[in-house]
Amino acid sequence: MSQLPYSYAKDRYAAFGVDTDTALRALRDIKISMHCWQGDDVRGFLFRDRALSGGIQATGDYPGAARTPDELRQDIDKAFSLIGGRHKVNLHAIYADTEERIDLDAVGPEHFTRWVDWAKERSLGLDFNPTCFSHPKSDSGFTLSSADEGIRSFWVEHCRRCRKIGESFGRALGQKCVTNIWVPDGFKDIPVDRLAPRERLRRSLDEILAERLDPLLHLDAVESKVFGIGSESYVVGSHEFYLGYAIKNHLAYTLDAGHFHPTEYISNKISSVLLFTDELLLHVSRPVRWDSDHVVILDDELQEIAYELVRGGLLARTHIGLDFFDASINRLAAWVIGVRNMQKALLRALLEPTDMLRKAELAGDYTTRLATVEAMKTMPWEIVWSRFLEEENVPGDTEWLADVRRYEADVLSGRN
């Protein structure tokens, strides 16, 4: 409970022409796609002994990682009990829940029925991703852009099947599923031929996307990157490549906060991308010196991302997904911190007197703009946030961790 009553915050914001009730209603309706892979350091269940590869890395050995689909679902349930709102869960192909020993070119909707049943019971949506890494057929560093036809066609088949799985999620749950393609393909050292791998990637994508799926049930997205560990000099699926591909083929483009040069920010790209694509997928993450996928904190860039979505009226065309994996801290806490921070940033954006600021800016009154934006930083948004948590019946910022600690003692400590 906040010490100051909600009415205090309501009056303070009303003085700026902002209605806190409207902001709360809007926040309740925003779905965040929570990535399952924070729960087990991107291991999945199909190939438990394969190390994570593809130029991404989860570091740390905090005990209690989920070892089975049931454990992962139990952990996600627990995390969601500490998060307000109704959300989505983002799965990867390697999280198939099956006793069958299948390879990635054999995955199908039948291997995800337990996930779908679980999601349906909870009115959760599901999103999906092909897993084009951590596999012998990605060890060369190339998948969809491989010059080896056997390898290339293996990954084409995998991605084709993943779209069908995504569509089956959309149909079963009555919520559109976003299937996002990211491949690690690239060169450690400076290539001679930059063009041919990109031509092959384009051809593979054309083949994967040839089948038309119901756009009400399923959305295709493609995710770019600037470099990865082992692909420092050249990444096939670069920003220009996928932005061009997405615009030309009416797909969603995926902006991952960690996939650009360290001084480049995705908040400044959203408005441009959405001028030329219908929909956008965000992988909200936190790069620290590289694409390190640290847990999302309430920093300036997160706030700026939220402002962009709210100010531009872009929420309806944006799918907010999270993408981080820190194995050095309690994994449930990582989820709760990340999702709640995203929500806090959105709430603060919803509490902004945007119309007034826009008018000041248009009139060239940059003094009012700066003064007001700064004043907003110390407005009592925390009281409104506490109200949200109360209404959603979830514990406050100083309370939820005790709950996670109890779960750690009761459940996680039994895993090794």
Q: Does 158 bind Zn ion (CB under 5 A)?
A: no
What's the min distance (Å) between Cβ of 323 and ligand RNT? 5
* Helices 331-350 and 20-28, packing angle to 10 deg: 140
State the Cα–Cα distance between residues 198 and 89, nearest whole angstrom.
31
Handedness of CA 379, 30, 180, 114 (dihedral sign): positive
Residue 91's contacts (CB-CB under 8 Å, 6 or more residues apart) are: 36, 112, 115, 126, 127, 128, 129
For Cα atoms 126, 131, 132, give the angle at the middle one, nearest 5 degrees.
150
State yes or no: is 19 an active-site residue. no
Given 38, 53, 57, 129, the residue binding ligand RNT (CB under 6 A): 129
DSSP H helical segments within 255-364, as ranges? 270-276, 300-311, 331-350, 354-362
Q: Does 283 bind Zn ion (CB under 5 A)?
A: yes
Per annotation, catalytic residue among 75, 279, 323, 408: 323
State yes or no: is 139 an active-site residue. no
225 binding partner (options Zn ion, ligand RNT, none; Cβ < 5 to 8 Å by kind): ligand RNT
Residue with tokens 């603060």: 348
Q: Does 78 bind Zn ion (CB under 5 A)?
A: no
State which residue, 129 or 143, has the beta carbon closest to ligand RNT: 129
State yes or no: is 293 an active-site residue. yes
Given 88, 200, 202, 225, the residue binding ligand RNT (CB under 6 A): 225
State the Cα–Cα distance between residues 4 and 167, nearest whole angstrom.
47
Q: Are strands 32-35 and 88-92 parallel, antiparallel or unpaired?
A: parallel
42 binding partner (options Zn ion, ligand RNT, none; Cβ < 5 to 8 Å by kind): ligand RNT
State the Cα–Cα distance between residues 127 and 413, nearest whole angstrom.
30
Handedness of CA 302, 305, 311, 313 (dihedral sign): negative
Contact letters for ligand RNT, residues 174-213 (x by CB under 6 A):
--------x-------------------------------
Are 66 and 412 spatial neighbours (Cβ–Cβ below 8 Å)? no
State yes or no: is 225 an active-site residue. yes
Given 40, 75, 220, 256, the residue binding Zn ion (CB under 5 A): 256
Which one of the spans 73-81, 115-123, 231-239, 249-257 is the region binding Zn ion (CB under 5 A)?
249-257
State the Cα–Cα distance between residues 164 and 216, nearest whole angstrom.
14
State which residue, 256 or 279, has the beta carbon closest to ligand RNT: 256
Given 42, 124, 219, 322, the residue binding ligand RNT (CB under 6 A): 42
Q: Does 291 bind Zn ion (CB under 5 A)?
A: no
Per annotation, catalytic residue among 78, 218, 259, 319: 259
Q: Does 168 bind ligand RNT (CB under 6 A)?
A: no
Q: Does 283 bind ligand RNT (CB under 6 A)?
A: yes
Per annotation, catalytic residue among 37, 115, 155, 182: 182
State the Cα–Cα distance between residues 310 and 349, nearest whole angstrom.
6
What's the burial of 150, exposed, middle or buried (CB within 10 Å: 0-12/13-18/19+)? exposed
Residue type, 193: D
Are 40 and 73 spatial neighbours (Cβ–Cβ below 8 Å)? no
Q: What is the number of the residue whose Cβ is closest to Zn ion?
A: 283
Q: Does 323 bind Zn ion (CB under 5 A)?
A: yes
Q: Does 56 bind ligand RNT (CB under 6 A)?
A: yes
State yes or no: is 111 an active-site residue. no
Q: Does 225 bind Zn ion (CB under 5 A)?
A: no
Q: Does 369 bind ligand RNT (CB under 6 A)?
A: no
For Cα atoms 49, 55, 58, give the angle at the middle one, nearest 5 degrees.
60
Q: Does 326 bind ligand RNT (CB under 6 A)?
A: no
Two structure tokens written together for 98: 């099956």
What's the min distance (Å) between Cβ of 44 and ligand RNT? 10
Interacting residues with ligand RNT (CB under 6 A): 37, 42, 56, 129, 182, 223, 225, 256, 283, 291, 323
Residues that bind Zn ion (CB under 5 A): 256, 283, 323
Catalytic residues, by residue number, are 182, 223, 225, 256, 259, 283, 291, 293, 323
